[in-house]
Every structure is written in C-alpha cells, then in structure tokens.
Chain A
Amino acid sequence: MKRLAKGAIALMTAGSLILTSACGANSESSNTSGNANASAKASQVELGTLDPANPTKVTFYSYSLAYPTMKAGMEQLIQEFNDTVGKEKGVIVEGVPDATFQQYKADISAGKEVDVVQHTFNLLDSSRLGLGFKAYEDVFPQAELDEHLKGISPNALELGKIDGKMYGLAFTFSTPIVFINGKLFEEAGLDPANPPKTWDDIKKASLQIKEKTGKDGFGLSPQNGWVTEGLILSNGGRVLSEDHKQAEFANKESVDAISMWKDLYMNGASAKGTDAEVSEQFMAGNLGMYVSSTSLYSGIKKASEAGGWKVYGGALPQFGEKESIPVNSGSVLAVRPDSPEKNAAVWEFIKFVTGDRGYTIITSQIGYLPLRTGLADDPNGLKEFVEQNPLYRINLEQLSRIQPVAIWPGESATEMVTAFTDAIVKSVSTDADVEQTLKQAQDQINGMMP
C-alpha cells in the first residue's frame, strides 16, 4: 500500500513537471513570435499582392451584426463587398457578430485571426496596449491613406487618434438626438415639429404628457453609456482631464448636470429600466421622448409605421442658454493584420466600407451618419434620403459641436468604464448623494490610472 502511494506521488510529480515545462515552452515560443512581429513592423509599410484565384480571408468582428435593427444593413455591406471588390481583387470577408465586445477579446486570446474589429471608442487605448491592434500609419502606405481620407469630416478623423497615430478610423457614427412620438405629443397639446430645446422644456413637456396621456413622457436610461458624457460636457463639466491622465467627473458642473437628470428621472414622468427596455417602450408607442443614437432610427421608423404614429426628432437639449455639446456614439475600425497580403486585403475592405458606397448603405440601411458629409448633398448619394428623413439634418448640424467620447487610458479601461457607469446609475436612480457617489468613483478610477 505504502509503495503504491509512493508510486502515485512520483507519478503526479512527474506529471506536474511535464506540465510546468510545457508552460515554459509555450512562453518561449511566444517570445520569439513577438520578436518576429517587431522586426517585421519596421520593414513593411507596403501592401502585398492579392490573388483573385486564391482569395485572402479577412475576419470582421461587428456588434452591428448582433443587433436586430442593424443586422440587415451590416450584412448587406459585407455581402456587397464580397460580391464586387472582394471578388475582383481576391478578398473574402467573414462577419462575426459580437454583441458584447467579448468575442474578439476571447478569440484574440485563443490565438485566432482577428483582423478587423468594429471597436468602441472608449476602450481603444486598452486594446492598443494589450491586444496588438495596429496604427494605420504602420500597416497602410501613407499615400493611400491620404488619398482615401479626403472628404471625411476632419473632426471625425481626430476621434480615433492616440499619441498622434490613428488606431481607429471612425466608421459607424452618430450623435444623440431626442426621438419624439408625434401622436403622444399632439394628444398632450404639444407641437412635435417644435421640440423642447432646454432640459427645463423637456421636464415641462414630460410632465404634461404624463398628465394628459398617462404614458411616460421622457426616457434616458442611466445605463445608456455615452449620452451621459454629452450631458456632463453640455453643462461645462469634464469626464477626463485635458491630458487624459485623471478622471474629473466629480466637479461642480458635472454634479449639477447629473443632479438635473436625477430630478428629471424621479419626477414620476420618466421611463425606468435598462436602455433596451426604454427603447422597447418607445417603439411600442408608450413613451413621449427618448434620447438615443440615430442608429436606432431604422428600427424606430418601422415600429412607428406599424403602430400608426409618426416619429419626430430634436437636438440634444441644452442647459439654459449654453449650447449643448453632443458626444459621438458608434465605432471605429481597428485593425490587426499580420502579413503584407493581409494588409492589402484589410485595406480593400476598409476603403469599401468607409467609401461613398459604404456610407450610403450605412446611413440608409442602418441609420448612422455619413462621415463623408458631402454625400448628404450628393444626388447620387444620400440627398433624397436626407430630404425624406429630416432627422438626419439635426444630426449633421450637431457634428459641428461634437466632442469625442472619453477614451479611458491604460489597460484597466474596462474597469474604469464599469466604475463610472455604476456611479452614474447609482446617482440617478437611487437616493444616493450625487456628489459623494461621483467623488468616490472618481477616486477609485484615479487609483487605476496608468
């Protein structure tokens, strides 16, 4: 018996030794591949040759593919690329739905090829540092870049830059607007063509809708994630300091903005629930006003036609006389090609989806803004569409006042976003003291700064 036990222990020790040495082998081989990457980077800013007979596969991780209101448009975009440019040049793009931004992270850590990601702005720095995303200047030739980026709003190009290099090209893009249910507005004796301008007007209108129709007047979910920043900026507050090294959202202006929102949320005429629940409520025709991105427009329009009401829109409301400052929602295209052929294939895809045809599909089929703003006046582009859907004019006008959504610095960005959102939810939807809650979160986040 004793001998058996000894044997078993010996066997297990041997087993664990083999396993540990296997781990060691792993890390060694990964080091060498890291070096290979580094040396490759220096020499290659040219594109490889593509072969139509032997097409290069590119994976594209997209959250739009996972949302019912955006899926069809995004699929059309990919399909049209594969059928035209892709077929001609030799590129096949495979779309991967990624609703929660987890799939691309999981697949990168599993060693799969993740080439193009429809990436949110706020986590871009963390991905750049940790997940091997590359600067456009490092993988695509400068001359090609300069040529292609002509005609894209310069404000928009700035949004994906970190330390002067472009880690993301603005892709699907929008500003927050107030969607209005025309029918409920009229029933409450309000004019939907003349939407509320200030937050005071919003409050008045929401109470009036509740009183006259019994339905909730206003909806903005505390978990919305990005409109919050527009609110803070509009009141003269900040989310991050100028140099992006400190969180600053507990200053007086921010606290005042959030307190205003809390008052609105608690007034008995506001919709409660998560962002998905509030948008469902609006689409069901049970909510007067709803602040969100125009990317929901195609879905909302269909719902309103089915429900027999008309959808109107207004700009992001302002505090008193101060002009409102919207932040952008949406995404950049972040890339991590690993060979000259991949560079070329990825570049073809990016040129198509951020080109004239690409933005025409994105705007008319999904609802995001055309970043090539000229398209809105181009009879071959979106002129007719914008005339039929005047909501987009509001959105295009807001572009001139837009400020970038905060890119949280360093590798702990996800934790920072969670801490910030949790603090906002707690401040707005509970009795918690706004200033104290925001201050606490700010200190916690500053403790995580790189």
Chain B
Amino acid sequence: MARRSLNKTKLWRRIKPFLYLAPALILLSVWMYKPLITTFYLAFHKWNMVPGTDKKFVGLDNFDRLFHNPAFIDSIGNTVFYTAGLLPFSILIPLVLAVVTNNMNGKMKNFYRGIFFIPMILAPVSVSAIWRWLFHPSNGVVNHILLKLDLIQQPVAFFSDANFAKWIILLITGWKMIGFSVIMFSAALTGINREYYEAAAIDGATSLRQFINVTVPLMSPMIMFMLMMSILFSSQWTFAYIDILTTGGPYGTSTNIYYEMFRYAFSNLNVGFSSAAALVFFFIFGAIALLLNAVSRKLSFYDN
C-alpha cells in the first residue's frame, strides 16, 4: 500500500512539469508545428486545396519547377532589394530621430513621437488608397508638382512603371516602419544611465562623440534586435502594399517571395508549389536568424 502511494507521488512528480508545459506545447503544436509539418508534407504533393480532392505525390517536381520559374527568381532579387532598402528606415533614421527627440522637454517629445508613430497604426488599406491618390498619373498631387516644377514633361504612371513601382512600395513601408523603430529606440534610450553623458561631457566630448561612443554601444542590443526584425519581416510588411497598389506588377517587377507564395497558393490554387517555396525560405530565413543571433551575442554590449 505504502509502496503504491510512493509510486503515485513519483509518477505525479514526473508528470507535473509537462502539465505546466502543456498549454504552451499545445498552442505551439497547433499553430506552429502542425502547419510546419503540413507544409513539409505538401511541398512534395500537387493539390488545389479543394475538400474531396486527392493530393498527388510528385516528389521533387515542385522544387524543380520552382527553380526554373523566372518570376520566382525575380522575386528573390526583389526580396533582397526590400530587405536592404528597409534598413535605413528601421535603423538609421529612427536612431537619429529617437536621440534628437530624447533631449526635448516632455510635451514636445511626446508630440513628435506621436507624429512619428501615427503611420504605424493606420490601416494598410486606407494608407494605400491615400498614396495611390498622391501618385495618380493624371489627378495626383506628386505629378502635378513635378510638372509645375518642370522636372518632368509627361506625367509618370508610378505604379505601372518598373523604374518606380518598387521604390514607392519601399518608401511607404519605410514610412510606416519609422514610427515603430523610433518607439523601440526611445524606450532603450531611457534605460541609459545619464552619468555616462555627464562623465563624457566633463572629458570634453562633443554631442556627436557622445552619440558614437556612449549611445550607440549602449543601444547595441536594441539595434541588433531591430536589425533582425527588419531583415526577417521586411517581406511581410511590404506584402499589403504590393497586393493593393501593384499586385506585383508591372510584369512582376515589384513582387516579393511572400506575395508569390500567396499567389501560387490562393490565386493559382497550387498549394504544393507554394509550400515548396515556403520551405526553401524557411531554411534561408532560419539560417539568417541563427547567424544574426550569433553576431548579436558578439556585438551587443550590456550595461550590467
């Protein structure tokens, strides 16, 4: 009898940690691991997602077609363009804005930060509508001003011109991104001990010196974090504007891989092809994330 209850307590002790873990494990498996496994499975099949139809096993055929698809190759180039192009908007400009507004007095500081943050909370659809009006070829304010200033002779159809379409998508995404980064950097700034600046000032350091030698090193964990966010999520953040403003065009010049995946799955109803693309980028982005993690451990400086 005593032995039995001993066994019971032992068993209970063993189960207990998993009970604590259960909610997280269940959520993770339903929302992360199941889709991941399904994606892996679907990448080797041809299926149009219609209930009642069979998934056909096609081996590596999806991957083979993927790497021979010119649109996919182009979209990789654009993804790199958006990722690199977004860095000034997510790191450089916000860092400067955060430092500048940090030295202002309370009310002005909040006013400016409010202005920077507003674009972030606007719905992408309405934002797109406004930018579409601004850049409209015949009725838009931008064309009107450029014509008045004699900078162009003919109005430019910005969203139908391969030279401009992706730059405007980048600009809009960046404009929205700035607000988020400014808030993050401002939060990190308030955590810096003022004594460092006083000490530097007594040593005769100019404000630029203080920025480079005090602010930047102490902000490095946040800078690394924003760098990672920016690189990993730039494709997602450009998605809405691509969909609403250009649908990837003209002739596929403003699309990125997330938009292509979406099209393969929900427009062409070829979920296997889409999964294959997703799988390729799961590994690429995974490698980037690990690399950035390693770099971040090396470069970040914590003021403990």
Contact = CB atoms under 8 A, between A and B. Distances in A.
Nearest to B159: A274
A132 B139 contact: no
A379 interface: no
A102 B138 contact: no
Interface stretch (A64-72, A106-114, A173-181, A200-208): A106-114
A11 B25 CA distance: 9
Contact of A272 (B17, B157, B266): B157
A207 B51 CA distance: 55
A7 B154 contact: no
A390 B297 CA distance: 75
Contacts of B38: 23
A369 to B, nearest CB: 28
Interface residues of A, number: 53
Interface stretch (A231-239, A357-365, A425-433): A425-433
Interface in B21-71: 21, 25, 29, 33-34, 37-38, 41, 48-55, 70-71
A7 B51 contact: no
Given A20-B37, A423-B251, A425-B251, A414 B267 contact: yes
A422 B252 contact: yes
Interface string B126-164: 000000000011110000000000000011110111100
B252 A280 contact: no
A388 interface: no
Given A221-B160, A223-B250, A422-B252, 17 more contacts: A4-B17, A19-B29, A34-B54, A106-B266, A130-B269, A131-B269, A132-B52, A273-B160, A274-B160, A287-B138, A411-B270, A414-B269, A422-B249, A422-B250, A425-B160, A429-B160, A429-B250
Contacts of A54: none
B51 A280 contact: no
Contacts of A142: none
Given A109-B50, A425-B250, A7 B37 contact: no
B155 A272 contact: yes
Contacts of B162: 430
6 contacts: A15-B33, A109-B49, A271-B138, A272-B137, A277-B137, A426-B250
A7 to B, nearest CB: 6
Interface stretch (A25-33, A41-49, A86-94, A252-260): A25-33
Nearest to B46: A411
| Residue from the set B18, B139, B157 with the largest chain A CB neighbour count within 10 Å | B157
Contacts of A272: 137, 154-157, 160-161
Interface pairs A-B: 8 shortest CB-CB: A272-B157, A109-B49, A273-B157, A422-B251, A281-B138, A273-B137, A111-B51, A414-B268
Interface in B105-137: 136-137
A380 interface: no
A84 interface: no
Nearest to A274: B160
Interface string A407-432: 00001101100100011011001100
A349 B104 CA distance: 67
Contacts of A281: 137-139
Contacts of B268: 412, 414-415
Given A105-B266, A444-B70, A33 B52 contact: yes
Interface in B250-303: 250-252, 266-270
A284 interface: yes
Q: Is the interface of B mostly helix, strand, loop or mixed?
A: loop
A286 interface: yes
B52 A37 contact: yes
Contacts of A426: 250-251
Contacts of A20: 37
A16 interface: yes
A277 B50 contact: no
Nearest to A109: B49
Contact of B54 (A27, A109, A415, A418): A27
Contact of A15 (B29, B48, B71): B29
Contacts of B55: 27
A216 interface: yes
Nearest to B48: A130
Contacts of B70: 444
Given A102-B266, A429-B160, A284 B138 contact: yes
B236 to A, nearest CB: 19
B99 to A, nearest CB: 41
A268 interface: yes
A280 B139 contact: yes
A19 B160 contact: no
Contacts of B154: 268, 272
Nearest to A287: B138
